[in-house]
Amino acid sequence: MAKRYLVLEDGSVYEGTAFGGEHSGTGELVFNTGMTGYQESITDQSYNGEILMFTYPLIGNYGVNFDDNESVTPTTAGVVVHELARLASNWRNQMSLDEFLRQHDIPGISGLDTRAITKKIRARGTMKSVLVNSKKEAQSVLEQGMQVSPKSLVMESTTKNGYPNPNTGKRIVVVDFGLKHSILRELSKRKCNVVVLPATATAAQILNYKPDGVLLSNGPGDPKDVQGAATMIRTVERTVPLFGICLGHQLFALANGADTFKMKFGHRGFNHPVREIATNRIDFTAQNHGYAVDASSVADTDLLVTHEEINDDTIEGLRHKKYPAFSVQFHPDAAPGPHDSSHLFDEFLESITSYQRQKRIDIRG
pLDDT of residue 359: 85
Binding-site sequence positions for L-glutamine: 46, 219, 221, 247, 250, 288, 290-291
Question: Under DSSP, is residue 20 helix (H, G, I), strand (E, B) or coil?
Answer: strand
Q: Check residue 295 and report its DSSP letter.
A: G
- pLDDT, tens digit (0-9, with 9 covering 90-100), for 25-43: 999 999 999 999 999 999 9
Residues in the chain: 365
C-alpha 276/C-alpha 331 separation (Å) is: 14
Average pLDDT, the chain: 96
Express as a percent the part of the chain with pLDDT over 90.
93
pLDDT of residue 202: 98
Binding-site sequence positions: 46, 219, 221, 247, 250, 288, 290-291
Residue 309 reports pLDDT greater than 90: yes
pLDDT of residue 147: 72
- pLDDT, tens digit (0-9, with 9 covering 90-100), for 175-195: 999 999 999 999 999 999 999
What is the pLDDT confidence band of residue 360, given thresholds at 50, 70 and 90?
confident
Residue 365 reports pLDDT greater than 70: no
Active-site residues, by number, are: 246, 331, 333
Range with lowest mean pLDDT among 76-90, 142-156, 201-215 = 142-156
Express as a percent the part of the chain with pLDDT over 70.
99
Sequence-distant contacts of 274-281: CB under 8 A, at least 24 apart: 274/307, 274/308, 274/309, 274/310, 274/316, 274/317, 274/330, 274/341, 275/307, 275/308, 275/310, 276/306, 276/307, 276/317, 277/305, 277/306, 277/307, 277/308, 278/306
Residue 4 reports pLDDT greater than 80: yes
Domains of the chain: 3-144 (3.50.30.20), 153-364 (3.40.50.880)
Residue 361 makes CB contacts below 8 A (sequence gap 6+) with none
What is the pLDDT confidence band of residue 150, given thresholds at 50, 70 and 90?
low
